[in-house]
A and B are shown apart, each in its own frame.
Chain A
């Protein structure tokens, strides 16, 4: 991870200005992406992500294997 990830896709995803993002229709595209995402009853996409604190790799499927998993997505706002 690091600078190698800071390509055009990452730069567009991590927009610098919210008003510019809205002006370009980014918020509308995000809503469309949500409704195009997998539906209830379908298989959930599985990934491994680092855990804040110890940096350990956590597989989502390991978390939902034994009990239902609640995943909240977010940031400061």
Chain B
């Protein structure tokens, strides 16, 4: 399931949302252009669900049966989610007599390899302003990082 939030890089073609109707129109356009086959749920204009789950632009959460959080990642990696689901579902399957899986929490850094070309294509799709503003943001990030 996919939850449509806000436009992280608004531009001339895909603007920021100033009404729920515009947000719905953008979500519809996204579905048409990307062919997302899963159900798409649309958050409200104030981002109520997005706020509750942590505001990152491309994150994935897995919720276990009964509503306990099983996994949260501030970036979506399909491979990482699939690997987790395999372990998670195995723990809920059959296990040797006399043993019982016990949940524990871990936290570790993961690494991704951004597809810069694809990302720039998406920025250009949103509009020239989205590209220019991202370039300015990169300067700000470089300034933050220091010399």
Q: A13-B6, A73-B3, A75-B5 are in contact. Are A38 and B69 (CB under 8 A)?
A: yes
**B: contact size bracket:** 35 or more
Q: Are B10 and A16 in contact (CB under 8 A)?
A: yes
**A: contact size bracket:** 35 or more
Q: Sample 24 A-B pairs with CB under 8 A, ordered by A number.
A: A3-B19, A14-B45, A15-B6, A17-B133, A37-B72, A38-B69, A39-B105, A42-B69, A44-B69, A49-B49, A52-B28, A52-B40, A58-B41, A65-B65, A65-B66, A68-B85, A70-B85, A73-B56, A75-B7, A75-B26, A75-B57, A76-B26, A76-B122, A77-B8
Name the residue of chain B whose CB is nearest to the CB of A22: B137
Interface of A is mostly: mixed
Name the residue of chain A whose CB is nearest to the CB of B82: A70
CB contact list, B16-47 vs A, under 8 A: 16-21, 24, 26-28, 30-31, 38-47
CB contact list, B52-82 vs A, under 8 A: 52-72, 74, 76, 81
Q: Are A46 and B89 in contact (CB under 8 A)?
A: no
Q: Are B42 and A73 in contact (CB under 8 A)?
A: no
* Residue from B60, B72, B123 with most neighbouring chain A CB atoms (10 Å): B72
Chain A residues with a Cβ under 8 A of chain B = 1-3, 5-7, 9-11, 13-20, 22-23, 27, 29-31, 33-47, 49-53, 58, 60-61, 63-77
